[in-house]
Amino acid sequence: MPAADPEVYREIETLVAEAVARFGAAGEVRIVADQIYLEGYGPPTSAALGGLDAHWDGLAPEVRQRRTTALARELVQKRRASLPPTARRSFKLPGFVAPLVILALAGVALWFARAWLLPQRGNPTPTTTTPTPNPVASVGADAYEAERRARAERVCQATRSRVMRGATVGPTDVEGWVVELVLLRDGSSGDLTFDPGLGPFVARRPGALSGRFVWPAAEDISGAEGPSTLVTVADASLPNPQQPKHRGVSLTFSGRYVAPYFKDEGRKSFVRVAAALAERLGATHGALYARCAESSTHHLGAWFLGPGPGGAAASLVYWMGAFADPPQLRAALIRHDGVVSPEASGTLGQLEDAAKDLTKPRVAKLIGSDGGMIGGHPDGPHAITFPFKDGNRAARASRELARELGVGVD
């Protein structure tokens, strides 16, 4: 039975490709149904997975390594066996030539041994050589990684097209995606990248930007493991870290951390994480969404935070409308020095000014047709959330709000 989680396929493909490179071969490794294929840089070959994908999660790391190495060996051996045999010469050397060749080779060997073992004049230290890396292995690994990323981007773009038509995504659609949480607070505060408030949520080595998500109240996220399963912390200050009006931080979830976001209950867990971390950091604005790993266009918006109903509406329009493709906002709001840059152009502040008079009932009505909900205390921050089904709800609500505020494209 095929594995439901595409991340399992990716892990198997990665380990097999690495082993193929160690065996001195190159090519793209990919899984189709119950077969694994080695293609490119030689004759294509395949091998049966033998149920490896179905039992992957229950295997110890050393067993995974052993099984994937065995698959790589089988693929490489089949490829080499399929190569045409080298033509053999029928010519036979005369009998007296062989002894002469042996004597000549022996003389050459003695000369090289003397030159190597005896110190040379002016250079009493024997020379040493540095081993060179296997170019075939490195080229094979690089080629595989490039093709893997290209394939993931194609899959993500295909899912993105379905999302924009209102489709509901699922766990089989996660390849190529990352989940992103962005939080902002007043610019006079300190750098958020290593704020102590992140400690209960992200475990990192001192000075590292990437680590593991460890918040115990979201076990469906924190319990995920596997290659490239990381949360990466980055500065998200606006308009820039040097002159911040807002200090900001982004948490980008990759690898197996992404799968829960593509499930109803997992999406709710991410929203709980966003609300809890925002409270701990004292954030005034924030957004939770997903995007293709190789793209800056935002999709699948789930949660948006702002100071009051108008601020929450501004956050929704900023993170979904300004980063849409094409943008939902007029060019004058998002261009800086002739380049589209919502961060540098002060778009969020302009949207807040435009939305400052929006009341909670008005926002609720504008986003309600797309399933959006707004909540918050009268004098405190407000949050807008969207249900799991129909991944394009937040984008449609953002477009409606932008038109209401008079900042949207015609």
Domain ranges of the chain: 6-82+138-149, 170-405
pLDDT of residue 3: 46
Nearest 5°: the CA angle 267, 392, 408 is: 125
pLDDT of residue 6: 78
pLDDT at 139 over 70: no
Per-chain mean pLDDT for the chain? 85
pLDDT band at residue 219, thresholds of 50, 70 and 90?
very high
Strand partners, 232: 210, 252
Query: Measured between alpha carbons, how far is 162 from 300 in angstroms, rounded to an integer?
Result: 11
pLDDT at 39 over 50: yes
**Average pLDDT of the segment spanning 221-227:** 92
pLDDT of residue 2: 46
Q: Give the residue, 162 or 91, on which the prediction is more confident.
A: 162
pLDDT of residue 95: 53
pLDDT of residue 352: 96
Query: Measured between alpha carbons, how far is 17 from 69 in angstroms, rounded to an integer?
Result: 9
Read off the pLDDT of residues 178-207 as tens digits, 9 standing for 90 and up: 999 999 998 888 889 999 999 999 999 999
pLDDT at 408 over 60: yes
Q: Give the residue, 120 or 369, on which the prediction is more confident.
A: 369
What percent of the chain is modeled with pLDDT above 90?
Answer: 54
> Which DSSP state fits 233?
E
pLDDT of residue 167: 81
DSSP E strands, 259-338: 285-292, 299-307, 335-336
**Average pLDDT of the segment spanning 277-296:** 96
Q: Give the residue, 274 or 56, on which the prediction is more confident.
A: 274
Return the structure tokens found at 181. Answer: 């949480």
Give the 3-state secondary structure percentages of the chain, helix then strand then coil, rounded to 5: 45, 20, 35
pLDDT band at residue 338, thresholds of 50, 70 and 90?
confident
Query: Measured between alpha carbons, how far is 174 from 78 in angstroms, rounded to an integer?
Result: 32
pLDDT of residue 128: 46
Q: Give the residue, 105 or 70, on which the prediction is more confident.
A: 70
Read off the pLDDT of residues 243-269 as tens digits, 9 standing for 90 and up: 889 999 999 999 999 999 999 999 999
pLDDT of residue 88: 41
What percent of the chain is modeled with pLDDT above 70?
Answer: 84
Q: Decide if 169 contacts 262 (C-beta within 8 A).
A: yes
In terms of phi and psi (left: phi > 0; alpha: psi -120 to 50; beta: otherwise), the region of 41 is: left
**Average pLDDT of the segment spanning 135-142:** 55
Q: Give the residue, 222 or 156, on which the prediction is more confident.
A: 222
pLDDT at 112 over 70: no
Instruction: Select the highest-mean-pLDDT range: 85-89, 137-141, 144-148, 376-380.
Output: 376-380
Q: Decide if 381 contacts 311 (C-beta within 8 A).
A: yes
Q: How many CB atoms lie within 10 A of CB 167?
A: 16
pLDDT of residue 55: 87
pLDDT at 96 over 80: no
pLDDT at 100 over 80: no
DSSP E strands, 130-237: 177-186, 202-203, 210-213, 231-235
pLDDT band at residue 336, thresholds of 50, 70 and 90?
confident
pLDDT at 117 over 70: no
